[in-house]
Structure 1
Amino acid sequence: MRVRRRACGEEGRAEHGTAHGADLVVGVVAARTGRLASLGDPLAFAVSLVEPRLTRITNGHRTHAVRLVCRDSRSTAEGARRAVRELVADEGARIVLTLAGTQVLPAAADACEEAGVPCVSSTFPWQVYYYGRGASDVAPFRWTYHFCWGLDAIAATFADLWELAGGPGRTVGCLWNDGPQGGWSRDTERGFAGTARARGHHLVDPAAYSEPAADLSGHVAAFEAAGTDIVTSAATGRDLALFRATAVERGSTPRLITCSRWLAYPPSATSGDRQRPAQANVATLVYWTPSHPYRSSLDGMTAAQLAEAYEQATGRQWLQPLGPAYALFEVAAYALRTAEDPTDPAAVAAAVGRTRLETVAGTLDWTAGPVPNVATVPLAGGQWQPGRRHDYELAVLTNPHVDGLVADADLMPLR
């Protein structure tokens, strides 16, 4: 399937159209410039794919024209806030969609909360999204909704991989930064650490490093002194590449590295040595692949067809966030179609809150929790292994939670 790919912000119907008063506008905040630009590719591609398929919405006995309008976050929190303001004030957005960016996604969601417009987002651990933005179990957000996995699910998935590598009760080195990823990973109540320790694993956590890291030799030395042969992290590709090079220099390469965040992307989408990319044989979380048995509620497209459309249109390897990116539009369409009044932001927000929908990213159910405003996504465990179609491909190693997804490979040593 060949798709005419339009970047967010390129002139056309996705950016300019008729006066917004008569239309239902779906606003999109995506990074198209700046350091996160490559991470914005899945959402930008989803816009180009969905746009000709989502031109009208029927709600009850009325049919409404739909416009997709995209704004560039410029990979910054302030850029995300400005994008939301423009979408709401200039375009009359009825709902805003976004994903990716540790600082950018919360800023976009907060701006929607302040503007009184519903927002749906993904690909950001839900505890950081929810508690990190100031909500509580008894004081949820009014306008902003999210679907994703949790830090507890990442820890459980990584524990499965650690035990696959060496059995129960492993000593694991923690390569965690001094930002939100590291802080929330250390949280013993709602973060990664509590779940990992409850599984019987001992965590070795040296002093936090600042991104971008300049020297990780202290972490390598601390892990070596503790006798760790497994390392876990949420590092960028650049920082993980630095850690791996430092470990090789010291002759203390771990048996296994588990890493989330940017390492869920293939090597071509992150920084690192192209001869030995940071992801090579690194284990990571698996939340969406062409093999997931999911189908879109918009058009019946399968996960495999979505991945193929991306590869044919871009010439690049499929990306895990493609599934959540496309599902954002499924949720928006469903909310506009089922809201008591799709022109009323409060009614659209309420419709998202009662949504249970089968999407190309799986079943999204905001009625089930774990907290208000959040729907969860199950994880499998995988590893970047040498592939047939691409230099490295994401193999599924463990899968206790995703029905119909086959674990199709054995764990390969890091060395």
Structure 2
Amino acid sequence: MNDSDISGGRERVLTVGVVVARTGRLTSLGDPLDAVMTLLEPELAAAGPRGFRIRLVGRDSRSSADGARQAVKELVQDENAAIIVTLAGTQVLPAVADTCEIIGVPCLSSTFPWQVYYYGRGADPARPFDWTYHFCWGLDDIAETFADLWAQAGGAGRQTVGCLWNDGPQGAWSRHPQHGFAPAARARGHRLVEPGPYEEPAVDLDRHITAFRDAGATLVTSAATGQDLALFRAQAAESGWQPRLITCSRWLAYPPSPAVSGRQSAQADVATLVYWTPAHPYRSSLDGTTAAQLAETYEQTTGRQWSQPLGLAHALFEVAAHALTTADDPTDRRSVAAALSRSRLDTIAGPLDWTSGPVPNVATVSLAGGQWQPGTRHDYELVVVTPGRTEGVRVNGDLRTA
């Protein structure tokens, strides 16, 4: 049972455990989740099923897989969490989900391509997970979005695209012959130039630059960190070669980091995926807050530029509250997991539906295409340049190419 003795009196409480990076290299990625947790805690207290109060308890993942596993264990053993939520981190997110699957506690996560989450953790449609659920876009969705951007940059028809992929999970799954980015991009008729993976963090990318130039590539795609992409752009410029456009996912979906040693920010004029902005026409299922209002509140309370994970962080708590209130027995973890599996909900991150695939345990998020361009309120702002498959999102700028 998830009853707790609070303030000396018996009160029925349901705990949502939050694994969030507050120290280590992923701290900035944990900021939106931490901020939304603080924002929603008073509201969620009254959003539970009749006779219950929802409370939020966070634990620091320490930006590591070991820290994430320890955080889950503490939330379950010490705080009696009814459900765990988390987002972000190539090693951290799978560690959270795997630990929840082993312990037997419902888990909801986001901001991680669903094929990597699902197949990368050993599931398949015939053998889905029992406890862990996820919502995100797919690697194929990124490929489709980037192909739309390539068409704008290079014209319709076959494009030659250089692939700057690392030797980690991002690069491996980008190349995956069945579930990766590459087969979806090739299905659109494009030629991909793959010199082989580089070791992250990169120290020299001249081999890739030479391969792209020799192959006649005018476009480059990647899932690099900002640091590695900055190195690539600097070395390309030194060699006298420059692609017309770079498309990059992963860290490049976040606001630009400051320029280093006089160089422009790695994100400047880089095109990327767009999964949430203040202009998205979505509202919170909890209180009707709009995407624009959430972004404004975040900037006013934190002094930081809004970032795309903000909307998905908010949706995590919306879905968690929905599962707890629709579960046949919110004090039974298996009942809560079953509620997640049948959830269909319009959230501030858009409509989420776990009943319609693409595989069990997963709901999808649609993508548009955007580009980091010089802004008015911030040094760089994310401009939507192609609507992709996101209904109601309007283009608000033109694609800039070299």
Q: How does 1:134-213 map to 2 (within 5 A)?
A: 134-167=122-155, 168-213=157-202
Query: Cα distance 1:164–1:273, how it changes in 2: closer, same or farther (>3 A)?
Result: farther
Match of 2:254 in 1: 265
Query: 8 Å contact 2:148–2:388 — kept in the other structure?
Result: no
- Quote the Cα distance in structure 2 between the aligned partners of 1:316 and 1:86: 30
Match of 2:304 in 1: 316
Are residues 1:395 and 2:383 paired?
yes
What is the letter of the counterpart of residue 367 of structure 1?
A: T
- Work out which of the residue numbers 225, 228, 232 in structure 2 matches 1:239: 228
Query: Cα distance 1:70–1:213, how it changes in 2: closer, same or farther (>3 A)?
Result: same
User: Structure 1 length as normaliser, TM-score?
Assistant: 0.93
Query: 8 Å contact 1:57–1:336 — kept in the other structure?
Result: no
- Work out which of the residue numbers 13, 34, 46 in structure 2 matches 1:23: 13
Match of 1:305 in 2: 293
Match of 1:250 in 2: 239
Match of 1:5 in 2: none
TM-aligned CA deviation for residue 339 of structure 1: 0.2
- Work out which of the residue numbers 36, 39, 43 in structure 1 matches 2:26: 36
Query: Cα distance 1:166–1:18, how it changes in 2: closer, same or farther (>3 A)?
Result: farther
- Work out which of the residue numbers 63, 69, 74 in structure 1 matches 2:57: 69
Secondary structure of the structure 2 residue equivalent to 1:63: coil
Q: How does 1:124-143 map to 2 (within 5 A)?
A: 124-143=112-131
- Quote the Cα distance in structure 1 between the aligned partners of 2:163 and 2:259: 21
CA displacement, residues 67-116 of structure 1 (integer Å, 9 cap, x when unaligned) = 10000000000000000000000000000000000000000000110110
TM-aligned CA deviation for residue 299 of structure 1: 1.0
Query: 8 Å contact 1:56–1:63 — kept in the other structure?
Result: no
Match of 2:372 in 1: 384
- Quote the Cα distance in structure 1 between the aligned partners of 2:132 and 2:87: 13
Find runs of 4+ consecutive structure 1 residues off by over 3 angstroms: 16-22, 270-275
Match of 2:104 in 1: 116
TM-aligned CA deviation for residue 162 of structure 1: 0.4
CA displacement, residues 221-251 of structure 1 (integer Å, 9 cap, x when unaligned) = 1111111110000000000001001101101
Query: 8 Å contact 1:21–1:92 — kept in the other structure?
Result: no
Gaps of 5+ in 1: 1-15
- Quote the Cα distance in structure 2 between the aligned partners of 1:361 and 1:383: 20
Secondary structure of the structure 2 residue equivalent to 1:164: helix
Q: How does 1:218-237 map to 2 (within 5 A)?
A: 218-237=207-226
Identity of aligned residues (%): 68
Gaps of 5+ in 2: none
- Quote the Cα distance in structure 2 between the aligned partners of 1:69 and 1:274: 42
TM-aligned CA deviation for residue 263 of structure 1: 0.2
Secondary structure of the structure 1 residue equivalent to 2:246: strand
- Quote the Cα distance in structure 2 between the aligned partners of 1:36 and 1:87: 20
- Quote the Cα distance in structure 2 between the aligned partners of 1:63 and 1:298: 18
CA displacement, residues 327-380 of structure 1 (integer Å, 9 cap, x when unaligned) = 000000000000000010000000010000000000000001000000000000
Query: 8 Å contact 1:290–1:307 — kept in the other structure?
Result: yes
Are residues 1:287 and 2:298 paired?
no
Query: 8 Å contact 2:283–2:290 — kept in the other structure?
Result: yes
Query: Cα distance 1:298–1:274, how it changes in 2: closer, same or farther (>3 A)?
Result: farther
What is the letter of the counterpart of residue 173 of structure 1?
A: G
TM-aligned CA deviation for residue 18 of structure 1: 5.3
Query: 8 Å contact 2:18–2:58 — kept in the other structure?
Result: yes
- Quote the Cα distance in structure 2 between the aligned partners of 1:18 and 1:122: 34
- Quote the Cα distance in structure 2 between the aligned partners of 1:272 and 1:231: 22
Query: 8 Å contact 1:25–1:91 — kept in the other structure?
Result: yes
User: Which moved further from structure 2: 21-30 or 137-146?
Assistant: 21-30
TM-aligned CA deviation for residue 57 of structure 1: 4.0
- Quote the Cα distance in structure 2 between the aligned partners of 1:227 and 1:216: 17
Secondary structure of the structure 2 residue equivalent to 1:203: strand
Match of 1:4 in 2: none
- Quote the Cα distance in structure 2 between the aligned partners of 1:239 and 1:38: 18
What is the letter of the counterpart of residue 304 of structure 1?
A: A
Secondary structure of the structure 1 residue equivalent to 2:115: helix
Match of 1:345 in 2: 333
TM-aligned CA deviation for residue 188 of structure 1: 2.0
TM-aligned CA deviation for residue 408 of structure 1: 1.3
TM-aligned CA deviation for residue 400 of structure 1: 3.3
- Quote the Cα distance in structure 1 between the aligned partners of 2:299 and 2:262: 20
Query: 8 Å contact 2:249–2:273 — kept in the other structure?
Result: yes
CA displacement, residues 176-213 of structure 1 (integer Å, 9 cap, x when unaligned) = 01111101100121110001001000000112111111
CA displacement, residues 239-276 of structure 1 (integer Å, 9 cap, x when unaligned) = 000100110110111110000000000113x7856751
Match of 2:42 in 1: 52
